[in-house]
Amino acid sequence: MQAPPQLETAMSALSQEELNNIQVFQANTPSVVNITNLRMVQRGNGYFNLDAQQIPAGVGSGFIWDGDGHVVTNFHVIRGASEVRVTLLDSSTYTAKVVGFDPDKDVAVLKLEVPADKQAALKPVTLGSSGDLLVGQKVFALGNPFGLDHTLTAGIISGVGRELNTGLSSIKNTDAAINPGNSGGILMNNQGKVIGINTAIADPTGKGSSSGVGFAIPISDVKGLVDQILATGKVQRPALGLTIAPPQILQQLGVQGVLILD
């Protein structure tokens, strides 16, 4: 009599590539957090104004930067918030303090006050290199699209040095699925090291879903901004320090263009 077919064990059926994908996910899942943006809304009907009420205005992603409870995300994830709440992998939720942000570069740093017995839940990411990425290189995106916690998608680097009409430059372009809620989440290389923050998608249809064209801020840029924010609470950029003559002076002198006085 022929023996009945046997079920394979899950791990024995996996390829080396699949095992690597799983390792990348498992290593980084504890580092990715869910962020809820709460805003105050005045209730009333035009005749009677009731007490203001906090309501969720949006959700996004973020990631643990260090063991001191700092979390990094996109600025647009927390824009306009009266309160920011951060939920860790173990479902514990904390009200975050906004340490600082750079609206132009779309980066923000938050701070969590985590009790001593919960410090083990703070698992910082491992940073990779974003300066030498090549088109065709495999990448993973990890975040909370549509509120679906810790969702992993995979793709490749589709382009480097992109510039968005928001003013962001040197952006990395990927075809890994990025959707609303992924903002502030991480883009990783094949070793599971963070190479960028997922920040935007191309959305020609206006439906707010992945078109296969996603954008991430290089982690090298992010680190410079975060270091400044942690040190001073803000980002400072160098100024030229030039004094320019007013238009009336140019007219009197018959000069076109710009006249630098000092």
Which are the catalytic amino acids?
A: 76, 106, 183
Give the 3-state secondary structure of residue 153.
strand
Residue 216 contacts residue 158 (beta carbons within 8 Å): no
Three-point CA angle 106, 107, 109, nearest 5°: 150
- CA 41 to CA 53: how far, in whole Å? 5
DSSP for residue 48: -
Strand extents, DSSP E, 45-150: 49-64, 70-73, 83-87, 93-102, 107-111, 138-143
Three-point CA angle 22, 24, 29, nearest 5°: 95
Both tokens of 205, joined, read 């249809």
Task: Identify the helix (H) or strand (E) that includes residue 172.
Answer: strand 171-174
Quote the longest CA-to-CA distance of the chain. 108
Question: Please, which residues have CB within 8 angstroms of residue 91's CB and are 6 or more apart in sequence?
Answer: none
The b/e string for 90-125 (b: 16+ C-beta within 10 A; e otherwise) is eeeebebebbbbbeebbbbbbbbebeeeeeebbbbb
